[in-house]
Amino acid sequence: MSYFLVVSRTHGETVLTQYQRLREEQLLFDIVLVADGTEFPAHRSLLACSSDYFRVLFKDYTRESKASVIHLQVVSSTGLHHVLDFIYTSWLSLSPETLEDTLEAAGYLQVTEAIGLCSQYITNNLSLENCCFFANVASRFGLRDALTAANRYISRNLCRLPQCSSDSETQLDLNPESMMAVVGSNDMPRVTELQLLVLVLEWLKNNPLSVVHNNLLLGKIRYGLIPVEELTNLYSQNEVLQTAYIKSLVLNAMRYHSLSRQQPLNQCTQSTVRTQRSQIILVGGGTLRDGLVGEVVVFNPYLKTFRAITDLKRKVQNHCVCVVGNFLYVLGGEVVQVNDNEKLATTLVTNQVCRYDPRFNKWLETAGMIEKRARFSCCTVEDNIFAIGGSGGINSLHSSVEVYDINTDKWEKVRDLPQKMHGHACTVYKDTIYISGGMHENHRESSKEVYSFNLLDGLWKKRAAMSIARFGHQMATMKEKIFAFLGMYEPFCDIERYDPVENQWTRLHPVLYDRFCYGMAVMDSSVLMIGGKKWHNSQEVATQNVIEYDVDRDSWKEVCKLPCPLYGLQCAVLQLLEVPHA
């Protein structure tokens, strides 16, 4: 015998609707709930189906199973009213004023779906005015998802939260669990570490903790990001900072500050900027109209915004940049020197090196290179900076290679290149340096040659040549492969990919936008080409667009425009402290 099993998708909703109609018409009530002296007639069967508390209460072996009136001493009339409305209608009316009463009733009566809606309400309605209050509510009632969301919101908006308000709870009213999470956050825009420490010290005055919990909370402060004078003053004035554990962190920070040149090698959590996103730094170069630029600009690739963060120690082009420990090094290049008497501008090649610290927005002069270099290449291997080849001035090319030891602040020469060259590019793959192209001594044309250098054997080895001769181009390592991008004087806009294991090059999708003298940065699986020049009617024209190469899709697209056409720049990826707005 065959049969069909069918289901009604409206039956459950219809039954609930009928219960609500009985409630409105005051029919078939068989129980009265009392809270704060207020009576709420109800139906046992629906209560037992909606609440684990009532399901157990109404079983035959309990004293209350036969009672016609149940007094609920714990819940408020407001909370019970909202929970009963939910039981009968599936709708829960919530506001900050009724949230705690509703949660208390839903928790006591074990109406889990109502508790879930309260958690969702908190998560979806966070604002500057209520986030601290909601975090405290979520902590009190164990709403883990809502608490996580509230803590994250507070961290992201700490700089904008009201410091003192009679209408809303502030950071100083936060529960210990939230304060611990906020101070441990890696995402706290526009709040300096000094401001955060002051806030924590004020909070501890209002919320005294045990020594262990004091240490846990204060141990999350990044003392290496606090200026020495302010840190010294706060340490001497606050006993909670003088426990053995916190004292050790403060002393480590002092030592970190005292060894300024070695700071890139001594990075740890205590000196790491609180941010989850890196940004691209645009260094040097110039415009066709105004010449070399002095501002260092940061490009936010997520928001597509540009802002100046500092000024260069000297305006420069055909230089190199690299990053060690989230410190930016600017090496060599060409600077313009003006003769005051004759008012003549002279371009000079320099060996000078300076370092930028994004934590304190400061520059530091470090030891200069042994050779003056422009149109050279640089890279980092095991926190050592290599400067390779380049031009020393008119008709002067280098084959020399030198390495900077950050620990000793000294440059040393290592094995020379196979020949003198400039305008070549370099990248690093598994601690091996790869260089390509450029122009070699006594050659007037660009080169296709590729060499590698490994620290273990200290030798330059010839590798498979590129299919295109390149000069003034760029290289990048991504996903176990090396990519070579555009340079000057190239008849095509092709790019190539090199497999270091197979020692083989492969042509990829050409760039739709010809360019040279551009800045380049690698972000995740994308390469950004910023500014540069292109040929137009046999003339060099500065470009203003930022284009992106997607490695996974082998495709190009334009992402935004620069504030003005810029060429000859170098780019680096840094994590930056978002300072408070003026």
- Give the pLDDT confidence of 437-463 residue by residue, as tens digits: 999 987 788 999 999 999 888 899 999
pLDDT score of 60 more than 80: no
| Percent with pLDDT over 90 in the chain | 73
The reply to whether CATH 3.90.1170.50 applies to domain 11-125 is: no
The SS3 assignment for 550 reads: strand
The answer to whether the CB of 380 falls within 8 A of the CB of 321 is no
Phi, psi of 381 (to 5 degrees): -135, 120
The type of residue at 292 is L
**Per-residue confidence band for 580, with pLDDT thresholds at 50, 70 and 90:** very low
DSSP 103-160: HHHHHHTT-HHHHHHHHHHHHHT--TTTHHHHHHHHHHTT-HHHHHHHHHHHHHTGGG
Tokens of 1: 């015998």
d(C-alpha 559, C-alpha 541), whole Å: 20
Q: Which residues contact 407 (CB under 8 A, 6 or more apart)?
A: 262, 265
In which band, very low, low, confident or very high, does the pLDDT at 287 lie, cut at 50, 70 and 90?
confident
Give 579's pLDDT tier (boundaries 50, 70, 90). Answer: low
Tokens in use for 64? 């209350």
State the CATH architecture for 279-574.
Answer: 6 Propeller (2.120)
Q: How far is CA 136 from CA 48, 99, 169, 175, 255, in A?
A: 31, 12, 9, 6, 38
Burial state string for 287-309 with b = 16 or more CB within 10 A and e = fewer than 16: beeeebbeebbbbebeeeebeeb
**Where are the chain's structural domains?**
11-125, 176-271, 279-574
pLDDT of residue 491: 65
Q: What is the mean pLDDT of residues 281-289?
A: 90
Residue 226 predicted with pLDDT over 90: yes
State the average pLDDT over residues 309-319: 93
What is the spatial distance between Cα 438 and Cα 290, in angstroms, rounded to a whole number? 28
312, 330 in Cβ contact below 8 A?
Answer: yes
Contact 482, 475 (CB under 8 A): yes
Look at residue 516 and tell me whether its pLDDT is greater than 80: yes
Question: Taking residues 520-536, what's their average pLDDT?
Answer: 90
Q: Which pLDDT value is given to residue 17?
A: 79
Please, how many CA atoms are within 13 Å of residue 229, restricted to the half-sphere of its CB?
0
Closest residue by Cα to residue 374 from 450, 313, 284: 284
Distance CA 354, CA 357 (A): 10
Could you tell me the pLDDT band of residue 339, with boundaries at 50, 70 and 90?
Answer: low
- pLDDT (mean) for 174-182: 96
Residue-wise pLDDT for 72-97, tens only, equals 989 999 999 999 999 999 999 999 99
Other Cβ atoms within 10 Å of 170 Cβ, number: 15
Q: Which two tokens stand for residue 246?
A: 């916190």
* Stretch among 291-305, 442-456, 488-502 having the lowest mean pLDDT: 488-502
Q: Stretch 31-37: mean pLDDT, rounded?
A: 92
In this prediction, residues 211-226 reach a mean pLDDT of 96
Average pLDDT, the chain: 91
492: pLDDT strictly greater than 80: no
Segment (H or E) for 503: none
Strand order in the sheet with 450-454: 425-429, 432-436, 450-454, 460-463
Q: Tell the residue number behind the tokens 């909670």, with chain if given.
A: 240
Strands 69-71 and 31-35: parallel
Residue in the structure block whose two tokens are 């425009």 = 561
Greatest mean pLDDT among 22-36, 312-326, 504-518 = 312-326
Per-residue pLDDT band at 390 (split at 50, 70, 90): very high
Contacts with 176 (C-beta within 8 Å, 6 or more apart), sequence order: 207, 209, 213, 217
- Global pTM reads 0.88
Instruction: Yes or no: say if 183 and 217 are a contact pair by the CB < 8 Å rule.
Output: yes
Is 1 a residue whose pLDDT tops 70? no
Measure the CA–CA gap between 41 and 38, rounded to whole angstroms: 10
Query: Measured between alpha carbons, how far is 151 from 488 in angstroms, rounded to an integer?
Result: 51
